[in-house]
Chain A
């Protein structure tokens, strides 16, 4: 019970201090709406309880007065909702425009987010690198992102960072992201997209200028050759066992984007789009039996030997 109340307070708390201006509008509109709901529910419940209690049967003998309506009353309770509707419509349009402005016409997106069946590709054309599932943005300013899909309809949804928007194949959608302060935000794909829709989580990190620049540099770095023989074996396997035909690793591969970019996978918090923490163990488990971990995913089981998987894990771990 206490935890239940906590949830409610938690939510109301969030509503008054959000980290993003887009989110602010949404919260404010929702608050007005909640107030309206409260008032209407109270009115309806009072009307019902009055009817049931004050006018219960047995109070009078025989049938009550058979009145059938009151035009004035009915007009009132039709007109008042109309006025409320107009008020909310005006607010809705105003806030909708505010969230969507400025218009994306003629502007170039800083980040291209491409949704795939069950992972998120993020390309930073200005900086020249691509990453996956974990989005870093500089805090404190508006960032234009472009949302696309490589296969079916997905939906970009990070509740604390503003509106959600569909990723539709054959179409480019734009949205603004803005986190006023540094922070971490969780989101999820929000349009059913197949078997592993449930495991297409989003993780956004908003960073101060220095941290963000540092991150960019780490992402731009092309990894050097592997440090030891296991790593070298891993690199060889990566090429020869065709991992390279789906996954890109800067410096050695042909820029395939069928699977997530693995150049700096060791720097991410999670793998498999938020499903498991990023660790050597988890990578080994995953490569060993993908269908067991994320059933339905498009990664085949390559039937690798234990030491081969080990080598690959070492190789990926050491990529910096």
Chain B
């Protein structure tokens, strides 16, 4: 028995969704779908910028003692590359998908605070532009994306680059925190009738947990950023040891943010593959409760591991032991998910669409990245390998192999919903294989480079054995990797024009967003069915075998 529930109009009328046409519509919109799309395009744009930065670095590093880039240019590029990829590519990617999909996945027509949503996006965008404005202001920041003091203090970095970096991160942080607040409140208050918290689609659940990570971690960054700004501009003494300050304090504050930040980037990607893999295996995810619980465990633990970035600082055996323990511990909930995802396929009927291929690539690549991370938790191994190319391998495997790959899986999965057209599977397969091969060729060798003694953040290196050949091989890989991205853009533009028109539910998926049209109407739903399980559409499509009869849902009396 499934009857539709009409979604009541909100008490105070929302701003008119379609105000104006064209550019004005985009600038003034408060519609979560349009804002989500803006986030995603921003992410794509800055990926091009960040990849160009990476490619310049790879050319410089292809040969030993190369002189393609001056040291100062290289140092500015690697700093901006890191900041760009984390804050201007991965962050808008996850927030974009969350903003677009979460309301629809819970059967809502809008987010809790539509105006705040718009504010979040524009503040974030201006923050990002501010980072690049530093180029015109006398020099981009050149102190690394985590800007260690005292190198980032005025005495050692007299150009305004660092100040722009600080202000840029503050602005982007405000945007991100308000988006997280919006997402959390939306999930708490705007769920469809019958959609209890334990029936949430895993993507929504991960985004929800993630919001708390963001709410708690970014303020710590803000504290550190303000202190650095005050040091630089008002001559305070927080991080300069010559005047009584403590450089290590910056590290504590930054990594107190920095470590939760990387889980902030990873958790939504986990949510994405948790949606994609079940749909293309044609059965529910293996162990919903474990996967959901493990993300809560990760959220709590991630605040207790930050000093594993500081094992080489010499803070003592007890200190190191504590953080080694917590860091190894956090690997367990993260790793367990990999098994859950792989097991979802067993007993299923696996369809290898491009989206599914990317999801599976995440399983492989993120495991490699996660394992190298666990290596660093082993303190003596960290004492050999931290700040070398081994850690550069690790971060790229978890961030690209984890976060970005999840985003690409999500892109192929939700593109039909967002645009009403299917992405070409043919181009998609080429995209995937070039991506997978290019990515691994570029970054796997970094493990060896680190073992061979190449430090990170060097604009060149001496002609010691194997360093040149491995670096050259990596640069070749980067070209393949870059070409995969070009194919992705081609796929997007081609499919927008000529792609097959998508039906409402091209993948036969089971969550509420697939009830809407492709693309959705400005008002997502006129009405939604009463939700009785984690897969409302499965129940609709299989009335003879609904989830709630099989005990797949929590037995609750209606809305919780």
Contacts and interface: CB of A to CB of B under 8 A. Distances in A.
Chain A–chain B contact at Cβ < 8 A: yes
Nearest to A185: B453
A64 B282 contact: yes
Interface stretch (B93-101, B330-338, B490-498): B330-338
B387 A164 contact: yes
A92 B312 CA distance: 15
A145 to B, nearest CB: 12
Interface in B335-367: 335-336, 338-340, 342-352, 360, 363-364, 367
Interface string B282-300: 1111111110000000000
Interface residues of A, number: 90
Contact of B470 (A7, A165, A169, A189): A7
B459 interface: yes
B368 to A, nearest CB: 7
Contact of A152 (B150, B451, B460, B545): B150
B468 to A, nearest CB: 10
B458 interface: yes
B384 interface: yes
Nearest to B153: A152
A140 interface: no
Contact of A96 (B72, B343, B379, B459): B379
Given A81-B335, A195-B72, A57 B349 contact: yes
A87 B230 CA distance: 45
Interface string A80-107: 0110010011011101110110000000
Interface centre among B290, B336, B346, B348, by most chain A C-beta atoms within 10 angstroms, is B348
B387 A157 contact: yes
A151 B332 contact: no
A187 to B, nearest CB: 7
Interface of B, helix, strand, loop or mixed by DSSP? helix
A246 B422 CA distance: 68
B453 A159 contact: yes
B427 interface: no
B313 to A, nearest CB: 5
A69 interface: yes
B387 A168 contact: no
A50 B343 CA distance: 10
Contacts of B458: 188, 197-198
Nearest to A170: B241
Nearest to B508: A63
Contacts of A194: 75, 151, 156
B317 interface: yes
Contact of B148 (A26, A58, A192): A192
Interface centre among A25, A47, A59, by most chain B C-beta atoms within 10 angstroms, is A47
A51 B388 contact: no
A69 B286 contact: yes
Nearest to B464: A186
A157 B283 CA distance: 51
B283 to A, nearest CB: 5
Given A7-B448, A165-B314, A85 B328 contact: yes
A185 B464 CA distance: 12
Interface string B439-461: 00000000010011101111111
Contact of A33 (B143, B313, B381, B387): B381
B380 interface: yes
B72 A164 contact: no
A225 to B, nearest CB: 37
Contacts of B286: 68-70, 74
Interface stretch (A38-46, A211-219, A229-237): A38-46
A65 interface: yes
A96 B461 CA distance: 30
17 contacts: A4-B470, A37-B371, A47-B342, A52-B345, A57-B351, A68-B286, A74-B286, A89-B328, A93-B321, A96-B320, A169-B247, A170-B242, A194-B75, A194-B156, A198-B71, A198-B459, A198-B460
